[in-house]
Amino acid sequence: MDSLPEDCVSKILSYTSPPDACRFSMVSSTLHSAADSDLLWKSFCPSDYHRILARVLHPHTLDSSSYKNLFFSLCHPLLLDGGNMVYIHIIMLLFISYKLLTHIFVFLCLQHAELQIREVFRQKILHPIRKKIVDSVEQ
Q: DSSP of 86-124, one letter per residue?
A: EE--HHHHHHHHHHHHHHHHHHHHHHHHHHHHHHHHIII
Dihedral sign computed on CA atoms, order 41, 47, 50, 53: negative
Cα(29)–Cα(8) distance, integer angstroms: 15
The strand pairing partners of 4, in sequence order, are none
Q: Taking 90 as the threshold, does the pLDDT of residue 36 lie above it?
A: yes
pTM of the model: 0.60
pLDDT at 66: 92
- Flag the least confident range among 18-27, 78-87, 91-100: 91-100
Cα(86)–Cα(84) distance, integer angstroms: 7
Longest distance between any two alpha carbons in the chain, whole Å: 89
Model confidence over 37-81: pLDDT tens digits? 999 999 988 888 888 888 888 887 788 889 999 888 888 777 888
